[in-house]
Amino acid sequence: MKYLFGPVNSRRLGLSQGIDLLTTKTCNFDCIYCEVGGTSIHTCERKEYTPTAEILAEIDGLLAQDNLAKPIDVFTITAMGEPTLHTGLGEIIRHIKDKTGKPVAVLTNGAMMHRQDVRLELQAADIVIPSLDSARDESFRKIDRPAQCVDLEEMIEGISLFCREFSGQVWLEFMLTKNINDQPSDIEALKRTIMRINPERVQLNTVVRPPLESFAIPLTHKELSHIAEQLPGKVEIIASFAKREHASRRPPEQDEILEMLQRRPCTASDISEALNLEPAQTGRLMEELVDQGTVLKILHQDKTYYQPPH
């Protein structure tokens, strides 16, 4: 499938059916920690980058397979880039809600939320997870490397306005990197901004998977906890997978693993956890794929990750 992936066991959302709206990396940011590679189209232009009708047809095809659609906890809209750049976003959210009645979550970098059309389209979702990596312009530019069209103050005001208008939940995520956006002045600015936005939850993350730039260094759990203690509201550390109980593990299938690796590098245990696969068989299959040259093995922070050759 071109746009659907998973379902995967998401650390935050449960069993999540992913929908990726873009097929070429299109984003208004070029984050140093990005897991899907460098930004090819660096833009704030909203348009139908991929045909909405094709995405809806894939969703309908999935829903026609009863046994696949039933266990899904949530449909999660994401993208190889920024999903709010796609003008079909609102229609796609409404289509899923109408057809399934299941919750829809949208992962966004928040940079387009100052626009009324984007906020209106997002209103149809149940959970919106904007990331806001820094409330200080200097560190924001270092970590997210936004396109010229992005304005931090406008973005914060947009997220904050959306929080007041929206009847669903907003979970605000911060991706923290060592010596870039974790300094006392950054934390002070974050505190003030969290109070201004007043999200349902604040989620702290760090660079767990291999990042785009080697200078994007993760914080330790202790450092994240120290920052969490200083922030207001309901603050959670989401930097590792929460283990779920799975009824039964199944044997791995090469295609679904390759589909998942197209979106981000993963360890063998990430793969077996996310796709509910038998761990030993998954480990063996990954080694076979490396031997065939189908995937590459890379070492990051003492863990072995797999990714397709670029």
Residues of span 5-64 touching ligand SF4 by CB under 6 A: 27, 29-31, 34, 36, 39
- CB contact burial 205-243 (16+ within 10 A = b; e otherwise): bbbbbbbbbeebbbbeeeebeebeeebeeebebbbebee
Closest to ligand SF4 by CB, 21 or 125:
21
Report in angstroms how near the CB of residue 71 gets to ligand SF4 at its nearest: 28
> How far apart are CB 30 and ligand SF4 at their closest, in Å?
5
Structure-token pair, residue 265: 């590098």
In whole angstroms, the minimum distance from the beta carbon of 128 to ligand SF4 comes to 14
Measured at the CA of 279, the angle between CA 277 and CA 284, to 5 degrees, comes to: 110
Check residue 203 for interaction with ligand SF4 (CB under 6 A): no
- Quick check: 202 binds ligand SF4 (CB under 6 A)? no
Q: 14 or 37: whose CB is closer to ligand SF4?
A: 37
Residue closer to ligand SF4, measured from CB, 38 or 61: 38
**Count of residues that bind ligand SF4 according to CB under 6 A:** 10
Residue 245: enclosing H or E segment and its boundaries?
none
Strand 74-78, strand 104-108: pairing? parallel
124, 75 Cβ separation under 8 angstroms: no
State the minimum distance, in angstroms, from the CB of residue 114 to ligand SF4. Answer: 16
Strands 4-10 and 104-108: unpaired
* C-alpha gyration radius of the chain: 19
Closer to ligand SF4 at the Cβ: 110 or 283?
Answer: 110
Q: How far apart, in Å, do the first and last CA atoms of the chain sit?
A: 20
Q: Which is nearer to ligand SF4, 22 or 59 (CB)?
A: 22
| Residue 4 token pair | 């659907």
Nearer to ligand SF4, 31 or 163 (CB): 31
The answer to whether 109 contacts ligand SF4 (rule: CB under 6 A) is yes
Minimum Å distance from CB 26 to ligand SF4? 9
* Residue window 64-103: x/- pattern of binding to ligand SF4, with contact defined by CB under 6 A: -----------------xx---------------------
**Residues, the chain:** 310
Nearest-angstrom CA–CA distance, 213 and 178: 13
Nearer residue to ligand SF4 within complex by CB, 96 or 175 = 175
Kindly compute the dihedral angle of the four CA atoms of residues 273, 276, 280, 283, in this order, to the nearest 10 degrees: -60
Q: How many Å apart are CA 189 and CA 194, to the nearest integer?
A: 9
| CA distance linking residue 36 with residue 9, whole number of Å | 19
Kindly state the smallest distance separating residue 112's Cβ from ligand SF4, in Å: 11
Taking 3-state DSSP, the helix, strand and coil percentages for the chain, each rounded to the nearest 5, stand at: 40, 20, 40
Question: Which run of H or of E encompasses 173?
Answer: strand 169-176
- Closest approach, Cβ 207 to ligand SF4, in A, equals 11
Min separation Cβ 239 and ligand SF4, Å: 15
Measured from the CB atom, is 150 or 289 closer to ligand SF4? Answer: 150
The residue ranges that bind ligand SF4 (CB under 6 A) are 27, 29-31, 34, 36, 39, 81-82, 109
